[in-house]
Chain A
Amino acid sequence: MGNAAQFTEFSTLFQQVVNGLSLGSVYALIAVGYSLVYSILSFSNFAHGGFLVVGGYICYGLFTGFELNVFSRHLLTVPAGSVWLAGLGALGGAGIVAVLTERLAYKPIRERTSMTLYLLIASMGVSIIIENIFVIAVGGRFRALPQSMFPSGLYNLGWGVTASSSDVLSLTCAVLFLGGLQFFLTQTRWGLAIRAAACDLRTAGLMGVNVSLLIAIVFFAAGLLAAVGGVFLSYRYTLYPQMGGITTKAFVAAVIGGLGSLPGAIVGSLILGLAEMLTTGYVSSQMRDLVVYSLLVLMLLVKPAGFFGKPVSDKI
């Protein structure tokens, strides 16, 4: 009897850990891009959530053959059902939207002032604009990516613990994309330039780095990673124009890990995912946001720079 109870106890814990890692990996994809932009331009890009919405809708549109609304059905007929086309379109499209956002909204401000507060306010505006473009164009209703998009099924991990194939897929994709980013940043010439720019953007320009192009590359990467997160969120939960709101969680994760630090964003995201799922499993799902934001406040009180962040005085 005692053994059986212990067994159930353990499998609940393990199940929630698996769920937490899966959720955390999606947060990580969002938080890393957000943190990357922060590390270069030192402002919180609140339009980041918009990029995952763009990714989600492009994926939905391409996969279902643009059944988003009446007009586009007549304009474009794309062979529906190609996961690869839908996925690549979503990543590329969101990357391009991110670059355009920077060029149209942030660059003109950057060239006039060094106060990052204006960029922050502009990003809030862009976030609302993106949201409303989708409300007008495709309507505000909730959608979900067809379940046929990804292979379904459950993996039995033993001891009664299961992982859905979408969990496994999102974890795998997160590892692949974050690993790819890490490779890019550490092994390529532009990656080195980005790391130098994160330290001092002006001096990076003195090294012969085209700073405008570098910023565009950073935004493209951030948009692309956000879209990966957006696709998985719209597959597992729902797709709607305000879906970008989940980015708040990624912000929290980035702050816990240390703003501007990429390993910090990943660690923070996993902590957050685990905290949410363990709260759901052991307390109640209504408490999860309370726990998440309490963690944020606690972190700001105890270690304001986060786990991997630079001390605040160094950021000036």
Chain B
Amino acid sequence: MSALLEVRDFHVSYGAIKALQGFSLSLEEREIVSVIGSNGAGKSTFMNAVMGMVARDRGEAFLDGRKLPARSFQVVRSGLSLAPEGRKIFAPLTVLENLQIGAFSRAKQSGARADMEWVFYLFPRLKERVRQLAGTLSGGEQQMLAIGRALMARPRVLLLDEPSLGLAPIVIRDIFNELRRVNEEGVSILLVEQNARQALLLSHRTYVLQTGRLLKEGPSKTLLTDPEIKSAYLGKGQAP
């Protein structure tokens, strides 16, 4: 197996409701892969299932050929970290403390200081606000903090759940540009997005999820011009 992250046949249900019905995905080293789909398609469920936040009925995931553990703190230790939907930053803690907690899982805390400099290099705005309480940041800055906090775990794969949620278009563009820089630094990214256009523009490959099942997958460039995707997810005549 050559893929860095390999997800096979995920099934997740909430009582009688089947949220995922056999979804598989793979991601190569240094790749950006996105999963798009409308509200309720199962995107967040998929991310939470990978991270061990929700139990799955069936399916396995492998990182570098090794099976991912079941509990989320072990998943983080093995090399995945998630910037969750809605950012979920720790509002009463400072920006610095939010970044420090991101490094909790690392065996050696000594590397954390260098990584913090790296996060500040990627997001200079965070450095200016390092002593500020995280709850006082703007929405865009909070998203940067959520991404920076996830990067502090030095993940093999960075998972992002709806980073565009609730942000103004211009801020979304900033965030996505920064994600491209993060990827250029060598971090593989798995992105789940309702904002299909931004996701397709950023990622190398895309999976389209519809009511818990795979609808389509392919290179993002191809899907951008796919008539079905265009009419269902991209709308008409929108500027990129």
List which A176-200 residues lie within 8 A (CB) of chain B: 189, 192-193, 195-196, 199-200
B105 touches A207 (CB 8 A): yes
A5 close to B (CB within 8 Å): no
List which B116-160 residues lie within 8 A (CB) of chain A: 149, 153
Binds B, one of A153-161, A208-216, A282-290, A295-303: A208-216
B23 close to A (CB within 8 Å): no
Please indicate the chain B residues that have their CB under 8 angstroms from the CB of A193 in the complex. Answer: 101, 104
Please indicate the chain A residues that have their CB under 8 angstroms from the CB of B100 in the complex. Answer: 192
Q: How far is A203 from B82 in the complex, measured between Cα atoms in Å?
A: 10
A205 touches B73 (CB 8 A): yes
A202 close to B (CB within 8 Å): yes
Shortest A111–chain B CB gap in Å is: 11
B93 close to A (CB within 8 Å): yes
Please indicate the chain B residues that have their CB under 8 angstroms from the CB of A203 in the complex. Answer: 84, 88, 90
Please indicate the chain A residues that have their CB under 8 angstroms from the CB of B2 in the complex. Answer: none
B93 touches A206 (CB 8 A): no
Shortest A230–chain B CB gap in Å is: 31
B76 touches A207 (CB 8 A): yes
Q: How far is A205 from B53 in the complex, measured between Cα atoms in Å?
A: 9
Shortest A142–chain B CB gap in Å is: 44
A206 touches B90 (CB 8 A): no
Shortest A55–chain B CB gap in Å is: 31
Q: How far is A205 from B102 in the complex, measured between Cα atoms in Å?
A: 11
B53 touches A202 (CB 8 A): yes
Shortest B77–chain A CB gap in Å is: 6
Please indicate the chain A residues that have their CB under 8 angstroms from the CB of B73 in the complex. Answer: 205, 208-211
Please indicate the chain B residues that have their CB under 8 angstroms from the CB of A192 in the complex. Answer: 93, 97, 100-101, 104
Please indicate the chain B residues that have their CB under 8 angstroms from the CB of A205 in the complex. Answer: 53, 72-73
Shortest A267–chain B CB gap in Å is: 18
Shortest A106–chain B CB gap in Å is: 18
Interface size class of A (residues with CB under 8 A): 10 to 19
List which B27-61 residues lie within 8 A (CB) of chain A: 51, 53
Shortest A260–chain B CB gap in Å is: 11
List which B85-99 residues lie within 8 A (CB) of chain A: 88, 90-93, 97
* Also in contact, A199 and B92, with CB within 8 A (given A206-B81, A208-B153): yes
Q: How far is A100 from B96 in the complex, measured between Cα atoms in Å?
A: 35
* Smallest Cβ-Cβ distance to A204: which chain B residue: B101
Q: How far is A202 from B106 in the complex, measured between Cα atoms in Å?
A: 19
Please indicate the chain A residues that have their CB under 8 angstroms from the CB of B77 in the complex. Answer: 208
B109 close to A (CB within 8 Å): yes
B109 touches A189 (CB 8 A): yes
Please indicate the chain A residues that have their CB under 8 angstroms from the CB of B71 in the complex. Answer: 210
Shortest B73–chain A CB gap in Å is: 5
Shortest B10–chain A CB gap in Å is: 18
Please indicate the chain A residues that have their CB under 8 angstroms from the CB of B76 in the complex. Answer: 206-208
Please indicate the chain B residues that have their CB under 8 angstroms from the CB of A207 in the complex. Answer: 76, 101-102, 104-105, 149, 153
Shortest A46–chain B CB gap in Å is: 27
Please indicate the chain A residues that have their CB under 8 angstroms from the CB of B109 in the complex. Answer: 189
Please indicate the chain B residues that have their CB under 8 angstroms from the CB of A195 in the complex. Answer: 90, 92-93, 97
Q: How far is A204 from B102 in the complex, measured between Cα atoms in Å?
A: 9
Please indicate the chain B residues that have their CB under 8 angstroms from the CB of A206 in the complex. Answer: 51, 53, 72, 76, 81-82, 84, 88
The 8 closest A-B pairs by CB, nearest first: A208-B105, A208-B76, A203-B88, A199-B90, A210-B73, A196-B90, A205-B72, A196-B101
Q: Which residues of A contact B (CB under 8 A)?
A: 189, 192-193, 195-196, 199-200, 202-211
> What are 19 A-to-B residue pairs whose CB atoms are below 8 Å?
A192-B101, A193-B104, A195-B90, A195-B92, A196-B90, A196-B101, A199-B91, A199-B92, A199-B93, A205-B72, A206-B76, A206-B81, A206-B88, A207-B153, A208-B76, A208-B104, A208-B106, A208-B153, A209-B101
- Known contacts A192-B100, A206-B88; 15 additional CB pairs below 8 A are A192-B97, A193-B101, A196-B93, A196-B97, A200-B88, A202-B53, A205-B53, A206-B76, A206-B82, A206-B84, A207-B104, A207-B105, A207-B149, A209-B104, A210-B71
